[in-house]
Structure 1
Protein backbone atom coordinates (compact mmCIF):
# COMPACT_ATOMS: atom_id res chain seq x y z
CA UNK A 1 0.00 0.00 0.00
CA UNK A 2 1.14 3.50 -0.79
CA UNK A 3 0.28 6.35 1.57
CA UNK A 4 0.47 9.93 0.34
CA UNK A 5 -0.06 12.96 2.56
CA UNK A 6 -2.05 15.63 0.71
CA UNK A 7 -1.86 18.08 3.64
CA UNK A 8 -3.82 18.71 6.83
CA UNK A 9 -5.72 15.48 7.65
CA UNK A 10 -6.00 14.27 4.07
CA UNK A 11 -4.18 11.09 3.06
CA UNK A 12 -4.46 9.06 -0.14
CA UNK A 13 -4.18 5.31 0.39
CA UNK A 14 -3.55 3.32 -2.78
CA UNK A 15 -4.02 -0.42 -2.39
CA UNK A 16 -2.06 -3.04 -4.30
CA UNK A 17 -5.20 -3.57 -6.39
CA UNK A 18 -5.13 0.09 -7.46
CA UNK A 19 -8.14 1.07 -5.34
CA UNK A 20 -7.79 4.58 -3.93
CA UNK A 21 -9.12 5.71 -0.55
CA UNK A 22 -8.95 9.36 0.54
CA UNK A 23 -9.41 10.65 4.08
CA UNK A 24 -10.89 14.00 5.16
CA UNK A 25 -10.70 16.15 2.00
CA UNK A 26 -10.35 19.91 2.57
CA UNK A 27 -11.57 22.86 0.49
CA UNK A 28 -9.55 25.57 -1.24
CA UNK A 29 -9.52 27.90 1.78
CA UNK A 30 -7.23 25.65 3.83
CA UNK A 31 -4.15 26.49 1.78
CA UNK A 32 -2.88 23.16 0.51
CA UNK A 33 -3.20 22.20 -3.18
CA UNK A 34 -6.46 20.35 -3.72
CA UNK A 35 -6.15 16.62 -4.47
CA UNK A 36 -6.37 15.99 -8.21
CA UNK A 37 -6.83 12.22 -8.10
CA UNK A 38 -10.28 10.64 -8.39
CA UNK A 39 -10.62 8.40 -5.30
CA UNK A 40 -12.84 5.34 -5.17
CA UNK A 41 -13.69 5.76 -1.49
CA UNK A 42 -13.65 8.80 0.82
CA UNK A 43 -13.92 8.85 4.60
CA UNK A 44 -15.24 11.96 6.38
CA UNK A 45 -14.55 12.16 10.10
CA UNK A 46 -16.86 15.13 10.70
CA UNK A 47 -18.71 17.89 8.89
CA UNK A 48 -16.23 20.79 8.91
CA UNK A 49 -14.97 22.42 5.71
CA UNK A 50 -11.41 21.27 6.22
CA UNK A 51 -12.48 17.62 6.46
CA UNK A 52 -15.67 17.10 4.41
CA UNK A 53 -15.01 18.81 1.05
CA UNK A 54 -16.05 15.85 -1.09
CA UNK A 55 -17.45 18.30 -3.64
CA UNK A 56 -13.98 19.44 -4.70
CA UNK A 57 -12.88 15.94 -5.69
CA UNK A 58 -13.02 14.60 -9.23
CA UNK A 59 -15.19 11.57 -9.89
CA UNK A 60 -18.01 10.09 -7.86
CA UNK A 61 -16.49 8.27 -4.90
CA UNK A 62 -18.35 6.22 -2.32
CA UNK A 63 -18.40 8.32 0.86
CA UNK A 64 -18.23 6.81 4.35
CA UNK A 65 -19.48 8.78 7.33
CA UNK A 66 -20.27 7.95 10.92
CA UNK A 67 -19.62 5.15 13.38
CA UNK A 68 -20.32 1.49 12.73
CA UNK A 69 -19.12 -1.23 10.40
CA UNK A 70 -18.93 -0.31 6.72
CA UNK A 71 -17.95 -2.49 3.77
CA UNK A 72 -17.24 -0.44 0.66
CA UNK A 73 -15.78 -1.84 -2.55
CA UNK A 74 -14.52 -4.82 -0.62
CA UNK A 75 -12.83 -2.74 2.09
CA UNK A 76 -13.74 -3.12 5.75
CA UNK A 77 -13.98 0.29 7.44
CA UNK A 78 -14.98 0.57 11.09
CA UNK A 79 -16.01 3.93 12.53
CA UNK A 80 -15.62 4.63 16.24
CA UNK A 81 -17.64 7.45 17.79
CA UNK A 82 -15.54 10.11 19.56
CA UNK A 83 -15.77 13.86 20.17
CA UNK A 84 -14.16 16.91 18.57
CA UNK A 85 -13.51 18.41 22.00
CA UNK A 86 -13.07 17.42 25.64
CA UNK A 87 -16.60 18.53 26.57
CA UNK A 88 -18.52 15.61 25.10
CA UNK A 89 -18.94 17.38 21.78
CA UNK A 90 -20.62 20.44 23.30
CA UNK A 91 -18.17 22.88 21.69
CA UNK A 92 -17.24 21.34 18.34
CA UNK A 93 -19.47 18.32 17.86
CA UNK A 94 -18.79 14.71 17.07
CA UNK A 95 -15.85 12.98 15.40
CA UNK A 96 -15.47 9.53 13.89
CA UNK A 97 -12.23 7.58 14.11
CA UNK A 98 -11.94 5.26 11.11
CA UNK A 99 -9.93 2.04 10.92
CA UNK A 100 -9.41 0.69 7.42
CA UNK A 101 -8.32 -2.90 6.72
CA UNK A 102 -6.24 -2.72 3.56
CA UNK A 103 -3.55 -4.99 2.13
CA UNK A 104 -3.16 -6.84 5.42
CA UNK A 105 -2.76 -3.62 7.43
CA UNK A 106 -4.95 -1.83 9.94
CA UNK A 107 -4.79 1.90 9.27
CA UNK A 108 -6.41 4.17 11.87
CA UNK A 109 -7.24 7.81 11.10
CA UNK A 110 -8.19 9.77 14.22
CA UNK A 111 -9.85 12.70 12.45
CA UNK A 112 -10.17 15.72 14.74
CA UNK A 113 -10.00 13.78 17.97
CA UNK A 114 -10.37 16.30 20.79
CA UNK A 115 -9.88 14.22 23.94
CA UNK A 116 -7.86 11.33 25.38
CA UNK A 117 -9.14 7.89 24.44
CA UNK A 118 -10.93 5.80 27.05
CA UNK A 119 -9.75 2.32 27.93
CA UNK A 120 -12.71 0.88 26.00
CA UNK A 121 -11.88 2.94 22.92
CA UNK A 122 -8.24 1.88 23.06
CA UNK A 123 -9.27 -1.77 23.22
CA UNK A 124 -11.66 -1.30 20.31
CA UNK A 125 -8.96 0.23 18.11
CA UNK A 126 -6.03 -2.07 18.80
CA UNK A 127 -4.07 -3.43 17.08
CA UNK A 128 -3.04 -0.40 15.03
CA UNK A 129 -0.37 -0.79 12.38
CA UNK A 130 -0.47 2.73 10.92
CA UNK A 131 -1.76 5.67 12.97
CA UNK A 132 -2.68 9.06 11.49
CA UNK A 133 -2.89 11.42 14.44
CA UNK A 134 -3.60 15.16 14.91
CA UNK A 135 -0.86 16.88 16.91
CA UNK A 136 -1.42 20.64 16.50
CA UNK A 137 -3.77 21.31 19.41
CA UNK A 138 -6.40 24.07 19.72
CA UNK A 139 -9.05 22.25 17.65
CA UNK A 140 -7.73 18.77 18.52
CA UNK A 141 -5.56 16.99 21.02
CA UNK A 142 -2.21 18.70 21.47
CA UNK A 143 1.31 17.28 21.33
CA UNK A 144 1.27 15.97 24.89
CA UNK A 145 -2.11 14.29 24.51
CA UNK A 146 -1.08 12.91 21.12
CA UNK A 147 1.93 11.25 22.71
CA UNK A 148 -0.34 9.67 25.32
CA UNK A 149 -2.61 8.32 22.57
CA UNK A 150 0.38 6.95 20.67
CA UNK A 151 1.69 5.26 23.81
CA UNK A 152 -1.72 3.74 24.48
CA UNK A 153 -2.33 2.44 20.96
CA UNK A 154 1.31 1.41 20.36
CA UNK A 155 1.22 1.55 16.54
CA UNK A 156 4.11 0.42 14.37
CA UNK A 157 4.03 3.56 12.23
CA UNK A 158 2.93 7.07 13.26
CA UNK A 159 2.03 9.76 10.72
CA UNK A 160 1.42 13.19 12.32
CA UNK A 161 -1.28 15.39 10.76
CA UNK A 162 -3.35 18.52 11.43
CA UNK A 163 -0.44 20.76 12.38
CA UNK A 164 0.73 24.22 11.32
CA UNK A 165 2.71 24.55 8.09
CA UNK A 166 3.78 27.53 6.00
CA UNK A 167 0.70 27.38 3.75
CA UNK A 168 -2.02 27.70 6.38
CA UNK A 169 -2.99 30.23 9.05
CA UNK A 170 -4.88 28.02 11.52
CA UNK A 171 -4.02 28.84 15.18
CA UNK A 172 -2.40 25.46 15.76
CA UNK A 173 1.13 24.34 16.62
CA UNK A 174 3.63 22.86 14.22
CA UNK A 175 4.81 19.27 14.32
CA UNK A 176 7.97 19.99 16.33
CA UNK A 177 6.47 19.89 19.87
CA UNK A 178 5.11 16.42 19.17
CA UNK A 179 8.39 15.22 17.70
CA UNK A 180 10.26 16.52 20.73
CA UNK A 181 8.00 14.56 23.06
CA UNK A 182 8.24 11.28 21.15
CA UNK A 183 12.00 11.47 20.77
CA UNK A 184 12.16 12.74 17.20
CA UNK A 185 10.88 11.59 13.84
CA UNK A 186 12.04 10.84 10.35
CA UNK A 187 11.45 13.52 7.71
CA UNK A 188 11.29 11.65 4.43
CA UNK A 189 11.30 14.76 2.18
CA UNK A 190 8.66 12.91 0.18
CA UNK A 191 4.89 12.99 -0.05
CA UNK A 192 4.58 9.22 -0.20
CA UNK A 193 5.50 6.19 1.86
CA UNK A 194 5.07 2.56 0.86
CA UNK A 195 4.04 0.14 3.60
CA UNK A 196 3.55 -3.62 3.64
CA UNK A 197 3.00 -6.05 6.53
CA UNK A 198 6.54 -7.26 5.97
CA UNK A 199 8.05 -3.77 6.11
CA UNK A 200 6.35 -2.70 9.33
CA UNK A 201 8.99 -1.67 11.86
CA UNK A 202 9.15 -3.70 15.05
CA UNK A 203 9.93 -0.55 17.00
CA UNK A 204 7.67 2.47 16.64
CA UNK A 205 8.57 4.70 13.70
CA UNK A 206 7.38 8.32 13.44
CA UNK A 207 7.43 9.66 9.88
CA UNK A 208 6.77 13.25 8.75
CA UNK A 209 5.69 13.46 5.12
CA UNK A 210 5.80 16.48 2.83
CA UNK A 211 2.58 17.68 1.21
CA UNK A 212 4.13 18.48 -2.17
Structure 2
Protein backbone atom coordinates (compact mmCIF):
# COMPACT_ATOMS: atom_id res chain seq x y z
CA UNK A 1 0.00 0.00 0.00
CA UNK A 2 1.03 3.61 -0.46
CA UNK A 3 0.47 6.25 2.22
CA UNK A 4 0.79 9.95 1.44
CA UNK A 5 0.93 12.56 4.19
CA UNK A 6 -1.08 15.65 3.24
CA UNK A 7 -0.21 17.81 6.23
CA UNK A 8 -1.82 18.27 9.63
CA UNK A 9 -3.61 14.93 10.29
CA UNK A 10 -4.68 14.15 6.73
CA UNK A 11 -3.59 10.88 5.11
CA UNK A 12 -4.25 9.49 1.64
CA UNK A 13 -3.98 5.71 1.36
CA UNK A 14 -4.03 3.56 -1.76
CA UNK A 15 -4.68 -0.12 -1.09
CA UNK A 16 -5.76 -2.45 -3.87
CA UNK A 17 -8.59 -0.78 -5.81
CA UNK A 18 -9.46 1.55 -2.92
CA UNK A 19 -8.45 5.11 -2.16
CA UNK A 20 -8.96 6.27 1.43
CA UNK A 21 -8.72 9.69 3.02
CA UNK A 22 -8.38 10.14 6.78
CA UNK A 23 -9.35 13.52 8.24
CA UNK A 24 -9.59 15.32 4.87
CA UNK A 25 -8.59 18.86 5.88
CA UNK A 26 -7.69 20.16 2.40
CA UNK A 27 -9.10 23.65 1.85
CA UNK A 28 -7.80 25.96 4.55
CA UNK A 29 -4.86 23.67 5.30
CA UNK A 30 -1.77 25.73 4.44
CA UNK A 31 0.40 22.60 4.40
CA UNK A 32 -1.72 20.50 2.06
CA UNK A 33 0.32 20.05 -1.15
CA UNK A 34 -2.63 19.15 -3.39
CA UNK A 35 -5.85 20.96 -4.26
CA UNK A 36 -9.35 19.78 -3.52
CA UNK A 37 -9.98 19.32 -7.24
CA UNK A 38 -6.87 17.18 -7.62
CA UNK A 39 -7.97 14.93 -4.77
CA UNK A 40 -11.46 14.68 -6.23
CA UNK A 41 -9.79 13.52 -9.43
CA UNK A 42 -8.34 10.55 -7.57
CA UNK A 43 -11.89 9.17 -7.10
CA UNK A 44 -11.76 8.77 -3.32
CA UNK A 45 -13.73 5.69 -2.26
CA UNK A 46 -13.84 6.16 1.53
CA UNK A 47 -13.42 9.05 3.97
CA UNK A 48 -12.57 8.21 7.58
CA UNK A 49 -13.11 10.94 10.18
CA UNK A 50 -11.68 10.81 13.71
CA UNK A 51 -13.76 13.70 15.07
CA UNK A 52 -15.85 16.65 13.97
CA UNK A 53 -13.54 19.64 14.38
CA UNK A 54 -13.10 21.60 11.17
CA UNK A 55 -9.42 20.73 10.79
CA UNK A 56 -10.36 17.03 10.64
CA UNK A 57 -13.91 16.99 9.24
CA UNK A 58 -12.60 19.40 6.60
CA UNK A 59 -13.84 18.60 3.09
CA UNK A 60 -15.63 15.38 3.99
CA UNK A 61 -18.87 16.43 2.32
CA UNK A 62 -17.14 17.36 -0.94
CA UNK A 63 -16.05 13.74 -1.33
CA UNK A 64 -19.18 12.22 0.23
CA UNK A 65 -21.54 14.00 -2.17
CA UNK A 66 -19.60 12.42 -5.04
CA UNK A 67 -20.04 8.91 -3.63
CA UNK A 68 -17.22 8.33 -1.13
CA UNK A 69 -18.43 6.42 1.91
CA UNK A 70 -18.05 8.31 5.20
CA UNK A 71 -16.92 6.18 8.16
CA UNK A 72 -16.67 7.26 11.77
CA UNK A 73 -18.54 7.45 15.03
CA UNK A 74 -22.32 7.45 14.56
CA UNK A 75 -22.83 11.15 15.30
CA UNK A 76 -20.44 12.02 12.48
CA UNK A 77 -21.98 9.66 9.94
CA UNK A 78 -25.52 10.77 10.86
CA UNK A 79 -24.50 14.40 10.35
CA UNK A 80 -22.89 13.52 7.02
CA UNK A 81 -26.01 11.69 5.83
CA UNK A 82 -28.19 14.64 6.82
CA UNK A 83 -25.98 16.95 4.78
CA UNK A 84 -25.87 15.01 1.54
CA UNK A 85 -23.53 12.04 1.98
CA UNK A 86 -24.67 9.22 -0.29
CA UNK A 87 -23.11 6.38 1.75
CA UNK A 88 -22.13 6.18 5.42
CA UNK A 89 -21.12 3.58 7.99
CA UNK A 90 -21.46 4.53 11.64
CA UNK A 91 -19.45 2.87 14.42
CA UNK A 92 -18.56 3.43 18.06
CA UNK A 93 -15.65 3.14 20.47
CA UNK A 94 -14.16 -0.35 20.62
CA UNK A 95 -16.18 -1.60 17.68
CA UNK A 96 -14.58 -3.02 14.56
CA UNK A 97 -15.96 -3.77 11.12
CA UNK A 98 -14.66 -5.56 8.00
CA UNK A 99 -14.80 -3.50 4.82
CA UNK A 100 -13.84 -4.49 1.29
CA UNK A 101 -10.48 -2.78 1.79
CA UNK A 102 -9.69 -4.10 5.28
CA UNK A 103 -10.84 -3.80 8.90
CA UNK A 104 -11.34 -0.67 10.98
CA UNK A 105 -11.52 -0.44 14.76
CA UNK A 106 -12.34 2.77 16.63
CA UNK A 107 -10.30 3.56 19.71
CA UNK A 108 -10.71 6.24 22.37
CA UNK A 109 -9.07 9.65 22.04
CA UNK A 110 -9.07 12.23 24.82
CA UNK A 111 -10.23 15.45 23.19
CA UNK A 112 -13.53 17.17 22.30
CA UNK A 113 -15.67 17.07 19.18
CA UNK A 114 -18.15 19.44 17.57
CA UNK A 115 -18.82 20.44 13.98
CA UNK A 116 -17.99 23.95 12.75
CA UNK A 117 -21.68 24.88 13.13
CA UNK A 118 -21.63 23.85 16.80
CA UNK A 119 -23.43 20.51 16.39
CA UNK A 120 -22.21 17.84 18.81
CA UNK A 121 -19.88 15.43 17.03
CA UNK A 122 -19.91 12.44 19.36
CA UNK A 123 -16.88 11.11 21.23
CA UNK A 124 -13.54 11.76 19.50
CA UNK A 125 -11.73 8.66 18.27
CA UNK A 126 -8.52 7.17 17.08
CA UNK A 127 -8.52 4.46 14.44
CA UNK A 128 -6.70 1.18 13.85
CA UNK A 129 -6.79 0.09 10.22
CA UNK A 130 -5.81 -3.43 9.18
CA UNK A 131 -4.72 -3.24 5.54
CA UNK A 132 -2.86 -5.90 3.59
CA UNK A 133 -1.98 -7.62 6.84
CA UNK A 134 -0.53 -4.43 8.38
CA UNK A 135 -1.95 -2.48 11.34
CA UNK A 136 -1.93 1.32 11.18
CA UNK A 137 -2.92 3.49 14.15
CA UNK A 138 -4.11 7.05 13.54
CA UNK A 139 -4.44 8.57 17.00
CA UNK A 140 -6.63 11.53 16.01
CA UNK A 141 -6.35 14.43 18.45
CA UNK A 142 -5.48 13.17 21.90
CA UNK A 143 -3.31 13.30 24.97
CA UNK A 144 -1.43 10.32 26.36
CA UNK A 145 -3.67 7.79 28.10
CA UNK A 146 -3.03 4.48 29.81
CA UNK A 147 -5.34 2.43 27.56
CA UNK A 148 -2.83 2.92 24.76
CA UNK A 149 -1.30 -0.28 26.13
CA UNK A 150 -4.35 -2.15 24.86
CA UNK A 151 -4.00 -0.55 21.44
CA UNK A 152 -0.36 -1.63 21.42
CA UNK A 153 -1.46 -5.19 22.13
CA UNK A 154 -2.95 -5.27 18.63
CA UNK A 155 0.57 -5.28 17.17
CA UNK A 156 1.07 -1.97 15.38
CA UNK A 157 3.21 -1.68 12.28
CA UNK A 158 2.77 2.09 11.97
CA UNK A 159 1.46 4.85 14.24
CA UNK A 160 0.61 8.48 13.48
CA UNK A 161 0.74 10.62 16.63
CA UNK A 162 -0.01 14.33 17.15
CA UNK A 163 2.83 16.42 18.61
CA UNK A 164 1.68 20.04 18.19
CA UNK A 165 0.72 20.76 21.82
CA UNK A 166 -2.01 23.26 22.85
CA UNK A 167 -4.89 21.17 21.39
CA UNK A 168 -3.12 17.79 21.71
CA UNK A 169 -0.11 16.31 23.46
CA UNK A 170 3.33 17.69 22.70
CA UNK A 171 6.42 15.92 21.37
CA UNK A 172 7.62 14.81 24.80
CA UNK A 173 4.24 13.39 25.76
CA UNK A 174 3.87 11.67 22.38
CA UNK A 175 7.23 9.97 22.88
CA UNK A 176 6.03 8.67 26.24
CA UNK A 177 3.18 6.90 24.39
CA UNK A 178 5.58 4.70 22.44
CA UNK A 179 6.42 2.15 25.19
CA UNK A 180 2.68 1.54 25.47
CA UNK A 181 1.89 1.46 21.74
CA UNK A 182 5.10 -0.36 20.69
CA UNK A 183 4.81 0.47 16.95
CA UNK A 184 7.45 -0.64 14.48
CA UNK A 185 7.46 2.87 12.97
CA UNK A 186 5.95 6.19 14.06
CA UNK A 187 5.19 9.36 12.09
CA UNK A 188 4.49 12.67 13.89
CA UNK A 189 1.51 14.73 12.72
CA UNK A 190 -0.73 17.68 13.69
CA UNK A 191 2.05 20.27 13.95
CA UNK A 192 3.25 23.47 12.22
CA UNK A 193 -0.08 24.00 10.46
CA UNK A 194 -0.71 27.17 12.46
CA UNK A 195 1.51 29.10 14.90
CA UNK A 196 -0.34 27.75 17.94
CA UNK A 197 0.71 24.17 17.06
CA UNK A 198 4.29 24.87 16.03
CA UNK A 199 6.60 22.03 17.07
CA UNK A 200 9.95 20.53 16.19
CA UNK A 201 9.50 16.95 14.92
CA UNK A 202 13.23 16.34 15.40
CA UNK A 203 12.66 16.66 19.15
CA UNK A 204 10.08 13.89 18.96
CA UNK A 205 12.44 11.78 16.86
CA UNK A 206 15.26 12.21 19.37
CA UNK A 207 13.06 11.33 22.34
CA UNK A 208 11.64 8.29 20.52
CA UNK A 209 15.06 7.00 19.50
CA UNK A 210 16.29 7.30 23.09
CA UNK A 211 13.46 4.93 23.99
CA UNK A 212 14.38 2.54 21.18
CA UNK A 213 11.66 3.43 18.67
CA UNK A 214 12.02 4.33 14.99
CA UNK A 215 10.51 7.57 13.64
CA UNK A 216 10.02 8.79 10.10
CA UNK A 217 9.38 12.52 9.71
CA UNK A 218 7.21 13.07 6.63
CA UNK A 219 6.95 16.42 4.90
CA UNK A 220 3.54 17.17 3.35
CA UNK A 221 3.40 15.31 0.06
CA UNK A 222 5.86 12.63 1.16
CA UNK A 223 4.87 8.98 0.74
CA UNK A 224 5.83 5.68 2.24
CA UNK A 225 5.24 2.10 1.17
CA UNK A 226 4.12 -0.37 3.79
TM-score, normalised with respect to structure 1: 0.77
Aligned residue number for residue 186 of structure 2: 158
Aligned residue number for residue 106 of structure 2: 79
In structure 2, C-alpha distance between the alignment counterparts of 1:210 and 1:41, rounded to whole Å: 23
Q: How does 1:1-212 map to 2 (within 5 A)?
A: 1-15=1-15, 17-31=16-30, 32=32, 33-35=34-36, 36=39, 37-53=42-58, 54-57=60-63, 59-66=66-73, 67=93, 68-84=95-111, 94-113=123-142, 115-118=143-146, 120-126=147-153, 127-164=155-192, 168-174=193-199, 175-183=201-209, 204-212=213-221
In structure 1, C-alpha distance between the alignment counterparts of 2:125 and 2:11, rounded to whole Å: 16
- How many equivalent pairs are there? 182
Larger fraction in strand: 1
In structure 2, C-alpha distance between the alignment counterparts of 1:109 and 1:9, rounded to whole Å: 9
Larger fraction in helix: 2
The alignment partner of 1:149 has SS state of helix
Q: By how many angstroms is 1:97 displaced? A: 0.9
Question: RMSD in angstroms over aligned alpha carbons?
Answer: 2.3
The alignment partner of 1:123 has SS state of helix
In structure 2, C-alpha distance between the alignment counterparts of 1:44 and 1:125, rounded to whole Å: 21
Q: For the structure 1 residues 179 and 70, does the alpha-carbon distance in structure 2 shift closer, same or farther, using more than 3 Å as the test? A: same
Q: By how many angstroms is 1:152 displaced? A: 1.6
Q: By how many angstroms is 1:76 displaced? A: 0.8
In structure 1, C-alpha distance between the alignment counterparts of 2:50 and 2:22, rounded to whole Å: 8
